[in-house]
Structure 1
Amino acid sequence: MTPKKHNQRLLGKTAIVTGIGAGIGQGIALMFAREGANVFGCDINTKAAEATLAIAKSEGLSMASLHPSDLTKEKEVEKLVELAIEKFGRIDILVNAAAFCAFEWIEDLDYETTWKRSIAGELDIVFLTCQKAWKYLKINGGSIINFASANARQALKGSPALVHCATKGGVLSMSIQMAMEGGPHKIRVNTISPGLVHTAATDHLASDPEKREFLNDKHMLGRIGKPEDIAYAALFLASDESSWVTGADFPIDGGASKW
């Protein structure tokens, strides 16, 4: 993502961002740091996390990370939160960008491996980070940004996304409940539902000219997304500009969910 003019919209805030090694998580972590936030990140991929830290360092940004970090392990999540407090003294923002999910048809899913692992990789890790950060967010209030999906509400023909539909539906509903529980403490909880974004995970689709043309046509704006498209929405939800926004879902998808 190319650095742009910084308005310091998050100056003085501390953000935990999971999955900073690539894609949406990296885009959000760098944008938040460029906007003045202290960012504490994590990633299961050490090399990827260190590459993001190197970008931040080259720009003089405030960013630290725990890596490798397995967010399906409760103790690892506790360590992440405690290190963020130790490093920066507070938590104002939590962005749950890290995720893992197996895309397989119902008959091909193995309950003990791909199903349970995917539930842990897209639903459990959101619950755990929110729960462990909650007591610190209660101190000054804050913003939690979770990731749902169009698949929380609809199925896409030809896509073997059964577990993904289940987990993202869970994230969406769980986030609404969290918004209610967080209201008295000025903790805001919102979700973003991205369309297809060009990342390392989707490069095999975006780099195929035939598939790229089909995917572009599936979006009203004629293109698939970039990590910064999602990061700008997250920036609004993390900032004080969204102080009256909670329990909401934002479909940042180039119009795909309405097309």
Structure 2
Amino acid sequence: MTEHTQDKPRLYGKVAVVTGIGAGIGKGCALMFARHGATVIGCDIDAAAAQATAAEAQENGSSIEVVAPCDLTREKDVYALMDGVGERHGAIHILLNAAAMAVFKPIEEMTLDDWQFTLRGELDLVFLACKAAWPHMKKEGASIINLASANAYLTLEGSPALAHCAGKGGVLAMTRQLAAEGAPHGIRANSISPGMIVTAATSPVLDQPGFIDNVLAHNMVKRLGQPEDIGWAATFLASDESTFVTAADLSVDGGATAL
């Protein structure tokens, strides 16, 4: 792992793989990592959205290498992504698993297919990415950053998130185990649990009458989160500023889980 110095960017010399860069938190983290000097390789199943994120990075004076379309439910696609990065760049120093898929329905309406789709989208994607990247992360040490959720700790009235809560609770447990297995190899694993973040994925629920007021009533900080808020937290966990931090979950939720 490279050392952080005042005359170099915080992520200078680090190779970062970010999944789900086409929108939302994945996009925000990819842009932030690039801004702080990492070599960023981003993937998304939506090639046009991923390229738009890369174009935004270029406009801001940085760059993102795009691998898209990339279907992270397909083991062959995931290995092709990680092995390709390893061959081109020598190692993977940062893996941020932002890509996810979920169905939000109450139990009476949720089918078994909905349930399994969500668990695949929130657990399998993390497992496959970590497994495929593992040999490339072992080379020089690495930081895995997984996206859990405030929903792993609490429920929110008006949000039918049964499968999502189960999936993100699983992410917390997986991250602790990854930290234990990675420690002998210099691999740290941490998670971030966002509160309500304004993204294209959350806009349908945010548009429900009274929903934002309900969210803010549970927040100490009286605003909704932005992808950049998660990007700042992820940059800390990705950097050498956090080399003594592993198996931790960082709540970035405006204080919601403390009330």
- Settle same-fold status: TM greater than 0.5: yes
Amino acid in the other structure paired with 2:188? R
* SS in structure 1 of the partner of residue 189 of structure 2: strand
Structure 1: gaps (5+ residues): 1-5
Q: 3-state SS of the aligned residue for 2:233?
A: helix
Residues 14 and 93, structure 1, Cα contact 8 Å, conserved in 2: yes
Distance of 1:66 and 1:217 partners within structure 2: 40
Q: SS of 2:66's equivalent? A: strand
Alpha-carbon separation, structure 2, partners of 1:158 and 1:55: 34
Judge conservation of contact 1:19–1:42 (CA < 8 Å) in 2: yes
Cα deviation, residue 209, structure 1: 7.4
Q: Please name the residue that 1:241 is paired with.
A: 241
Contact persistence 1:217–1:223 (CA under 8 A): no
Tell me if 1:157 matches 2:157: yes
More helix by share: 1
8 Å contact kept, 2:147–2:192: yes
- Aligned mates of 2:207, 2:9 — CA distance in 1: 35
**CA distance in 2 between partners of 1:85 and 1:138 (Å):** 11
Q: Which residue of 1 aligns with 2:107?
A: 106
Identity of aligned residues (%): 53
Tell me the distance in 2 between the aligned counterparts of 1:103 and 1:212. Answer: 17
Q: Deviations over 1:112-162 (max 9, x none)?
A: x21111111110000000011011111111100001112223333332111
Matched, 1:73 2:65: no
Q: Distance in 2 between matches of 1:176 and 1:41?
A: 25
Q: Distance in 1 between matches of 2:59 and 2:158?
A: 43
Q: Report the CA distance between 1:219 and its aligned residue.
A: 1.1
Which residue of the partner structure matches residue 8 of structure 1?
Answer: 9
Aligned residue in 1 for 2:167: 167
CA RMSD, 1 decimal:
1.7
1:15-59 per-position Cα deviation (integer Å, ceiling 9, x unaligned): 000000111100100110010000001011111101001112223
Aligned counterpart, 2:4: none
**How many residues are treated as equivalent by the alignment?**
253
Other-structure match for 2:3: none
Q: Which moved more, 1:88-97 or 1:204-213?
A: 204-213
Moved more, 123-132 or 203-212: 203-212
d(CA) in 2 for partners of 1:210, 1:154: 19
Match of 1:141 in 2: 141
| Equivalent in the alignment of 1:185 | 185
Contact kept, 8 Å, 1:105 with 1:161, in 2: the verdict is yes
Mean Cα deviation higher: 148-157 or 189-198: 148-157
For 1:22 and 1:157, locate their aligned partners in 2 and report how far apart those are by CA, in whole Å.
26
Counterpart residue type for residue 109 of structure 1: M
Q: Aligned partners of 1:157 and 1:246: how far apart in 2? A: 32
> CA separation in 1, counterparts of 2:171 and 2:208?
31
Range 192-201 or range 81-90, more displaced: 81-90
Q: What is the deviation of 1:207?
A: 5.4
1:215 matched residue in structure 2? 215
Q: Name the amino acid aligned to 1:134.
A: W
After the TM superposition, which of the residue ranges 80-89 and 120-129 deviates more from structure 2?
80-89
> What are the Cα deviations for residues 167-197 of structure 1, in whole angstroms up to 9, with x where unaligned?
1111100110110011111100001000000
User: Which structure 2 residues correspond to residues 46-85 of structure 1 after superposition, within 5 A?
Assistant: 46-85=47-86
Worse overlay, 127-136 or 210-219: 210-219
TM-score, length-normalised on structure 2? 0.93
